[in-house]
Amino acid sequence: MADRPLHTPPSPRDKDRDAAGTRPSSLARHPLLRHLPHMLGLLLLVGAVVVVQREVRHLHWRDISHALAAIPMGTLWAGAGFTLLSYLVLSFYDWLAVRQVGCPLGFRRTAFAAFCSYVLSHNLGFSAISGAAVRFRLYGNWGLKPLQVAQIIAFCSATYLLGAAVLIGSVLVLEPGTVPFIGHTLPGIVMRLVGIVLWGGVLAYITMGRYVNEVRIWRWQITFPSSGMAIMQTVVATLEVAATAAIAYTFLPVAPGLDYGTFLAIYIASYTAGLVASVPGGLGVFDGAMMFALGPYVPATRIVTAILIFRLFYYIVPLFVAGIMFAAHELFLRGDAALSRKVGARSPVRGPRMGRPSQVIRESEADFSVAVATGAVSLCGGLLLALTLLDPENWLNAGRMQPLFATLGDYLLSLIGVVLIGLGIGLSQRVTLAWKATMVLLAAACMLTLLRGSPVGVPGLFMLVCMLIAPFRGSYYRHARIMSEPLSSHTIVSLVLLISSIVILVMAGPHDSAGGSWWEIMLFATRPGIAQWTLGLAVMLALVTIVRLVRPGRIQVMPWNAQTQALYHSFDHSLDGLGQMTPVPVGLIPGARRQALLPFVRLGPYLVGLGDPAGKADDCTSAIWWLRDLAVQEGCQPVFWHVGVSLLPVYNELGLTPWPLTEEGHPTHPGFLCAAADDLTMVRTLMRSSFHVPAQAKE
């Protein structure tokens, strides 16, 4: 029998493996193609910034705040209702998909997976990657095979395209002149012909399921759903896109020529532009396209108001709901873990780790929390940058310190906003220093906005983000480069640049009671131009150096000697016979809290972890990831030998495939060899000559 893996490596992680060096990328030979999406996104973003700047240069926040206050409560409730309807319909994407692949999952699970994936993809950008990663993690933990998850992702993508095709086709056929950008330049007959073609494509998709089951196009084999399933796909997607567009349309005033069909065309075109740009939430691109297309119908003030409330309802509120769900679940699991630790003194447990469902779920929740933290902290940074526009109140609660805070307070808050945006990148890389600095700055922002007299929701938002991030301290296990490495020339240069930037920011800051944020001083201060742009350059330079300094540092390794060997064997789940049955370990990787240890050997081009990490269960994941990081540092491939079932989702997260080992000596402790599927043959060959126990996969 041929080698058969338990799980095929998840596709979204292949990209991470390529970047990490664990597998050469197929795009490495085509650097232009690799960077083309980023270049296109950058061009769209630059164009959007130009459009937004042109449209809002004559706006005043006072006008926007009056427009916000004038929105009736009934309109707000209608927008909230359309938001709930949109996410409810979105949940049927996954519900239909799991039935198409033949998996009997309940609606609550599929709705949870759909909500998590769409919330993160909406806010983080790169929808095809971030949403797919969420689905691979959740559905993989629920027992679905990677191929089935890939089919679910493809099905959901096809579902959206069907709905968009129906609606775009309807607009092109019925109201071709309302299409933004091209409606008045292309002949109406051409537009209607394109719309009919789109309708024909949807009809062909529905019909194919009745007569043809599979079609092979080059290397791709396409399986068509039944006609009934295809009709349900089309109906669900059409309702979802229409409900989402209705959220923004609800907040626009009645305007001549702007009916729902016209707005639907504008919304789909703007949303598609943001999707192509792959910036978080389509930020800037979606807004610029909406402002440009709606300009002939609605005043700019009302457009900005509608976009702000739409983003609040459809992007920001669901993001925080997801964060609260993850944080609450983590606290629940910590209580479960605390109960499980209430045991008496005993000898260390030997052998691989057995599975605990709560630990498997925790890894998924912690992974999601990192993504939520990245988006939420970046949002807080952007809020602080825009605070002087959104909230013109001026330090009403500062008491005797009011003159000082009136001069420096807004400037300091705007700088904290820039730092939070830089720390968001460190959070996405799970850096401990970024987590600590973020908690301190969010607390400082909370106190400063209270002194400023901002509405209670502003400091409340910063406190809420603190509460969402705090339970996941263990997810941020990597040491920052500045804290973990000797001072190198690159680090010294970065520190000098950061200090120089701080000096410039202090000297160029506000010196009168007018105060203001750094960007207001740069754009509107009556000073020589060089001083203004020097301030902006200092801010950008500080942001870049902060990002460089909080990048993960090099991994530190403990030597394998008598003292560390005794420490390792004092932990639970250590392996006996290391050095006799296996090569002598060359070192130990400690966990983030040094409560877990993972021995390893170098075997040709591989770095092989010996067993699961021994020690505290909640410190094991960081040791596994650190061995992977060490392998990347050394240009090796990570491999893990004789691991148990408990941490298989973590190894799967690294893009590794678990293969059962044939070990007669451990009938009650089944072990696995975790390696990349492409490397299995070479790994087995090397292990036969170096290990004195059977290390081959079952055949």
Q: What is the mean pLDDT of residues 328-333?
A: 59
Res 193: pLDDT: 92
Q: Which of 111, 230, 220 is nearest to 162 (CA)?
A: 230
Residues 23, 25, 31, 36: is their CA dihedral positive or negative? Answer: negative
Q: Give the model confidence (pLDDT) of 676-690 as tens digits.
A: 877 888 888 888 877
The domain boundary, picked from 266, 298, 330, lies at 298
**Claim to verify: residue 478 and residue 570 sit in the same structural domain:** no
Res 149: pLDDT: 84
Asked if residue 101 is part of any domain, the answer here is yes
Strand partners, 638: 607
Give this prediction's pTM: 0.61
Res 53: pLDDT: 53
C-alpha–C-alpha distance, residues 383 and 378, integer Å? 9
Contact (CB, 8 A) for 353 and 612: yes
pLDDT at residue 7 is higher than 60 = no
Q: What is the mean pLDDT of residues 581-596?
A: 87
Q: What is the mean pLDDT of residues 410-427?
A: 88
Res 435: pLDDT: 92
C-alpha–C-alpha distance, residues 282 and 292, integer Å? 15
Which domain does 445 fall in, by range? 374-549
Q: What percent of the chain clears pLDDT 70, i.e. is strictly above it? A: 73
Res 200: pLDDT: 93
Q: Give the model confidence (pLDDT) of 468-500 as tens digits.
A: 888 778 778 788 877 766 667 777 888 888 888
Banded model confidence at residue 360, pLDDT cuts 50, 70, 90: very low
Banded model confidence at residue 636, pLDDT cuts 50, 70, 90: confident
Res 84: pLDDT: 93
Q: Which of 535, 533, 530 is nearest to 503 (CA)?
A: 535
The domain boundary, picked from 298, 331, 352, lies at 298
Q: Which residues, 6+ apart, have CB-to-CB distance to 637 below 8 Å?
A: 22, 605, 606, 607, 631, 675, 676, 679
Res 234: pLDDT: 92
Q: What is the CATH number of the domain that holds 606?
A: 3.40.630.30
Q: Could you give the C-alpha distances from 297 to 6, 64, 76, 696, in angstroms and in order?
A: 58, 17, 22, 69
**Claim to verify: residue 99 and residue 232 sit in the same structural domain:** yes
Number of domains observed in the structure of the chain: 3
pLDDT at residue 345 is higher than 90 = no
Res 63: pLDDT: 65
Asked if residue 670 is part of any domain, the answer here is yes
**Claim to verify: residue 482 and residue 578 sit in the same structural domain:** no
C-alpha–C-alpha distance, residues 625 and 552, integer Å? 12
C-alpha–C-alpha distance, residues 593 and 232, integer Å? 51
What is the SS3 string spanning 429-495?
A: CCEHHHHHHHHHHHHHHHHHHHHHCCCCHHHHHHHHHHHHHHHHHHHCCECEHHHHCCCCHHHHHHH
**Claim to verify: residue 271 and residue 189 sit in the same structural domain:** yes
Strand partners, 608: 601, 639
Q: Residue 284 carries which DSSP code? A: T
Asked if residue 411 is part of any domain, the answer here is yes
